[in-house]
Amino acid sequence: MATATVPEAPIRTAPTAAPVDHRHRFFTALCVVVLVVFAALWLVPMLWAVDTSIRPEGEITAAPARWWTSHPTFDAYRQIWSAGRMPVWYLNSFIVALLTAVLAVVACSMAGFAVARVRFRGRRIVTGLVLAGLMIPPQVLIMPQFQEFAGLHLLNTYWALILPSVPTPIAVFVFASFFSGLPGELAESARMDGAGWFRIYSRIFLPLCKPAASAVFIFTFVWSWNNFLWPLLTMTSTDVMTIPVGLNVVQDSYGIRYAQVMASAVLGALPLFAVFLVFQRRIVEGIANTGIK
């Protein structure tokens, strides 16, 4: 039910200062110190990747583990952008993630609405079937799915990545729990006016489910963008590779040109980092709300 109360942000005013004795004050100071140390540890790999990427290759070879550079340069970025296939992979990742997320929102919100709001025969069977899907990790299905897509001649096409990722059981439950939290009169009065069920879904319920829809959209997008094992199996031609699989090839071809390797890692992480910065609240709330139920 937590999805219904989405606007609640996990930011709350700090503990009141009233009964603070010196033990608590000292403890808070200690907390800040420990936290800053951990944050510094967590920042090191990110900063190190950026730092390496802007150092000249010759300097890295001479002193691999030094932070300071006297000649910062964007050469590595220029080279991988012009010589490599990075732009194509960006486009592939973007198309696949966008289509997957849009189709998942459409299909799963319709299914969630049906499960939560329409009393049809076989509803319990369907709910059980969707619930069963929650248990199946995608990794278990790689053998039969690969044979299926090979048989359909869809390997090395976007569809091989999109089609299996659209029907997401967890998304159906996110929508279903959101829809069942909305007042019943909404559908009732529309039925009185003679509206069909699809109309009730598309005109009344869908516009109301923006919090759930945006959470499902963002998560499907991020998940699809970062998916690795399945694209590794199905996207063997470099023209259709997505960022995570393409970068795996980069590592082999750039070898020890570390500035270029790190520059490609930074570029690969950048789009989702931007998505996260923009949607930080939604993502964090989405995890908190779908995790705890």
Partner 1 sequence: MTAGVAAAPAGTLPGVKDAPRSAGAVGQTRAGWGLLSPFLVLYLAFLIGPALYGLVMSFFDGSSVRSGLGPFAGFGNYAEALSSGDFWSSMGHTVLFTVLTTPPLVIVSMLLAMLTDRIRRGRWFFRLVFFAPYVMPVTCVGLVFVWMYTPQTGLFASALGSVGITAPNWLADPHWAMISVALMTVWWTIGFNFVLYLAGLQDIPRELYEASAVDGAGPGAQLARITIPLLSRTTLLVTMLQILASLKVFDQIYLMTAGGPNYATRPVIEYIYDVGFTDFRTGYGAAASMLYFVVILAVSAVWFAISRRRA
Min CB(4)–partner 1 separation in Å: 15
- State which of positions 154-213 bind partner 1 (CB under 8 A): 163-164, 166-167, 169, 172, 184, 187-188, 191-192, 196-198, 201
CB atoms within 10 A of CB 285: 22
CB-based burial label for 247 (10 Å; 0-12, 13-18, 19+): buried
Sign of the torsion formed by the C-alpha atoms of 4, 10, 16 and 21 = positive
**Alpha-carbon torsion angle 229, 230, 236, 240, nearest 10:** -110
Candidates 1, 83, 91, 106; binder of partner 1 (CB under 8 A) is 106
| Residue 31 in the binding site for partner 1 (CB under 8 A) | yes
In one-letter notation, the amino acid at residue 104 is A
How many residues contact partner 1, by CB under 8 A?
Answer: 114
Min CB(105)–partner 1 separation in Å: 11
| Residue 238 in the binding site for partner 1 (CB under 8 A) | no
Tell me the CB-side half-sphere exposure of residue 258, using CA atoms within 13 A.
16
Candidates 20, 83, 208, 278; binder of partner 1 (CB under 8 A) is 20
Instruction: Tell me which stretch binds partner 1 (CB under 8 A): 70-78, 94-102, 208-216, 272-280.
Output: 272-280
Instruction: Tell me which stretch binds partner 1 (CB under 8 A): 14-22, 75-83, 94-102, 209-217.
Output: 14-22
- State which of positions 118-147 bind partner 1 (CB under 8 A): 118-123, 126, 129-130, 132-133, 135-137, 139-147
- Angle of helix 210-226 versus helix 243-254 axis, rounded to 10: 20
- Residues 48-67: x/- map of binding to partner 1 (CB under 8 A)? xx--x-----------xx--
Tokens describing residue 286 = 């989405």
3-class secondary-structure state, position 153? coil
**Alpha-carbon torsion angle 81, 87, 89, 94, nearest 10:** 140
| Residue 276 in the binding site for partner 1 (CB under 8 A) | yes
- State which of positions 66-105 bind partner 1 (CB under 8 A): none
Min CB(126)–partner 1 separation in Å: 6
Min CB(209)–partner 1 separation in Å: 14
Q: Are 245 and 137 in contact, with CB atoms under 8 Å apart?
A: no
